[in-house]
Amino acid sequence: ENINAKGGVLGRKLKLEIGDDACDPKQAVAVANQLAAKKVAMVAGHFCSSSSIPASAVYNENGILQITPASTNPAFTEEAAKKGWKNVFRTCGRDDAQGLVAGKYLATKYKGKPVAILHDKSAYGKGLADETKKAMNAAGLKEAMYEAVTQGDKDFTALISK
């Protein structure tokens, strides 16, 4: 309201549009199409990499700037760059940068001890787990277990017994 009261940005009034993709790739594309139909100029989102990646194609086709504050999968910006897209950005670190730090820490702190790496099968969880494993292995520590769990599971007895 304050910005619009002062004439907006570059003479244009701002209008907030909100969409919820529930971190679901199909729903993300639907939300992206809805926002494109409303002729938005910019999207601050999506949150999950698994949503940002497919939605980015819709935004590119419609000339919409996309800046995500949370999508960390390297593929988000790498795929866009390979395609020559100039509208896709992130304001957070990538999984490979986070995984490097986590992997080195684990290799140093838990040298010679069994370390299990688990992920939840999401683009974020698997990407970060893969990068952590790679960095930890490069630093000399091999994981005792690398497994995926299903989001929402509450019984991990079988996993723990491994």
- What pLDDT score was predicted for residue 121? 92
In which region does residue 42 sit, left (phi positive, over 0), alpha (psi from -120 to 50) or beta (all else)?
A: beta
Fold assignment, 95-161? Rossmann fold (3.40.50)
Q: Which CATH class is domain 1-90?
A: alpha beta
Report domain extents, the chain: 1-90, 95-161
pLDDT over threshold 90, residue 124: no
Please give the Cα distance from 68 to 77 (Å, whole number): 10
44 Cβ contact list (under 8 Å, min separation 6): 67, 68, 69
User: Where residue 123 falls among pLDDT bands split at 50, 70, 90?
Assistant: confident
Does the predicted TM-score (pTM) go above 0.85? no
pLDDT over threshold 90, residue 55: yes
Same fold, 1-90 and 95-161: yes
- What pLDDT score was predicted for residue 12? 92
pLDDT digits (tens, 9 = 90+) for 97-120: 999 999 999 999 999 999 999 999
